[in-house]
Every structure is written in structure tokens, then in C-alpha cells.
């Protein structure tokens, strides 16, 4: 008898969950005019879409661990690569560029191609891209890129 009452109580709760699920979700009227404009970025992705639009994506990762801040440029490159693979089939070409300036301003010239992707699934990568670890920072080895890397890889 006791089990039947417990089962009945649970069934009532379960039915109320279904009836509550039928109600529409609450609408949020969040409006913000803020547009994030990065000031530093080691990598920039340029995506030439099929509809003629060109989109620019910057990636620069700062990590915080025990109130200490460090940079992870490897992860910032991986984020751009994942983003480009997410857009697969929606673009004509996508190119990731690297900035070799020490302080990584977004206004600097991104003059080294890191990766090139086209509509047909072909891709080329710059073989001189390697990362080094300095303390807790994972950084692009700029000296190696300047010495052994090509600025344009899609020719």
C-alpha cells in the first residue's frame, strides 16, 4: 500500500513536469550595443563567403590560473581552425594569418599565412608553424616562422 502511494505521488510529479514543458519558454529582451573589438591577437582568420561577404575573426587566448595570467596561442589557433571547419561548405576560401609583432596589436600587418582552405576541401598549411612553451605560456615560435616559413602558401 505504501509503495502504491509513493508511485502515485511520483506519477503526479511526472505529469506536472509534462504539463509545464508544454508552456512556452520565457522571452528575454536582452539588447546590447556593445561589439567586442579585440586589441591584441596573434592569429586572424579571413573567410570569403559564397554570398560575397568577407568576415574577419581574431583569436587571442589569455588563461588565468591561481590569479596568474598566461597566454595560450596554440589554443587560439585551434579555435580558429574549429570555426573554419564549422563553416565548411559555406565559404569560397578561408585563410588564417599570423601576426609576428611582439605585442600582437590587431592593427599590425598579418603577413604570414598559417593555413589555407578552399571550397573543394583542399587545404595547405605552413610547415614552419611550431609552438614553444615559456613558463606557462604556449607561444608561436616567431623566429622559426620568420626564418623557415613562407609568407604566402596558397600559390
Non-local (6+) Cβ contacts of 20 within 8 A are none
With a cut of 70, which residues of the chain have pLDDT below it? Answer: 1-21, 155
pLDDT of residue 24: 75
pTM: 0.74
**74-102 confidence digits (pLDDT tens):** 999 999 999 999 998 899 999 999 999 98
Say how far apart CA 67 and CA 45 lie, in whole Å: 30
Domain ranges of the chain: 40-148
Amino acid at each position: 500500500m505504501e509503495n502504491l502511494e509513493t508511485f502515485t505521488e511520483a506519477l503526479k510529479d511526472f505529469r506536472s513536469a509534462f504539463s509545464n514543458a508544454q508552456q512556452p519558454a520565457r522571452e528575454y529582451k536582452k539588447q546590447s550595443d556593445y561589439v567586442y573589438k579585440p586589441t591584441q591577437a596573434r592569429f586572424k582568420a579571413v573567410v570569403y563567403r559564397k554570398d560575397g561577404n568577407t568576415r574577419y575573426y581574431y583569436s587571442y587566448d589569455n588563461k588565468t590560473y591561481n590569479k596568474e595570467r598566461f597566454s595560450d596561442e596554440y589554443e587560439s589557433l585551434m579555435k580558429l581552425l574549429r570555426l573554419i571547419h564549422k563553416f565548411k561548405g559555406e565559404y569560397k576560401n578561408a585563410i588564417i594569418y599570423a601576426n609576428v609583432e611582439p605585442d600582437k596589436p590587431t592593427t599590425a600587418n598579418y603577413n604570414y599565412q598559417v593555413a589555407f582552405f578552399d571550397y573543394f576541401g583542399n587545404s595547405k598549411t605552413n610547415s614552419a608553424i611550431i609552438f614553444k612553451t615559456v613558463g606557462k605560456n604556449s607561444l608561436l615560435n616567431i623566429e622559426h616562422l620568420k626564418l623557415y616559413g613562407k609568407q604566402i602558401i596558397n600559390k
